[in-house]
Amino acid sequence: MLQQLSFQEYSSSKDTQYKPYYIDCTSNHPSVWLSVIYAYKGLMLAFGALMAWETRNVTFAALNDSRHIGISVYNVVFPCALGMTVVNVVDYHPDVTFAVLSVLVVFCTTITLCLVFFPKVITNSFLNSPLPGDG
């Protein structure tokens, strides 16, 4: 489906005119497709939470990330819910949709990577640093 967006003057030139448009891919049953995709993604998040729960009692400290992985799963769930809501509300505003989804993707990946890897980096840096007086 081709959507004509409102005309905006991008140039002060009188002989050039820009007509922005937005191509939208649609189907006869979009709610079914969205439900299937959301269910699949929800099952993947639930599987990640289950794996974090099952590995919570690992005795090897370097592998016991279940708490951080659980927090990462929660970190992904809430921005995803926010992103789905915003994208469905501002359906024909591609700039807003792109900006919101980009910020949420960068936020989720950054926080998840920090939650999973910073404790390991800090632990390894303190274990490998020389003690005071060792010289």
pLDDT in tens, 94-117: 888 889 889 999 998 999 888 888
Residues ≥6 apart with Cβ < 8 Å to 65: 52, 55, 116, 119
Task: Please count the other Cβ atoms lying within 10 Å of the Cβ belonging to residue 73.
Answer: 19
| Predicted local distance difference test score (pLDDT) of residue 69 | 77
Q: How far apart are CA 58 and CA 88, in angstroms?
A: 41
Of 121, 46, 118, nearest in space to 76 by CA: 46
Burial code of 76-86, b = ≥16 C-beta within 10 A, e = fewer? bbebbeebeeb
Place of tokens 């990330």: 65
Burial letters for 35-65: b for 16+ Cβ neighbours within 10 Å, e otherwise?
eeeeeeeeeeeeeebeebeeeeeeeeeeeeb
Question: Is residue 16 predicted with pLDDT exceeding 90?
Answer: no
| Tens of pLDDT, residues 21-79 | 777 777 888 889 888 988 998 898 888 878 877 877 777 666 667 777 778 888 888 88
Q: Looking at residue 103, what is its pLDDT?
A: 92
Q: Residue 23 has what DSSP assignment?
A: E
Looking at per-residue pLDDT, the higher value among 22 and 80 belongs to 80
Confidence (pLDDT) at 87: 82
H/E segment holding residue 2: strand 2-4
Res. 1: pLDDT tops 60: no
Most confident of the ranges 16-20, 57-61, 91-95: 91-95
Average pLDDT, stretch 79-86?
85
Q: Model pTM?
A: 0.62
> For position 92, what pLDDT does the model report?
73
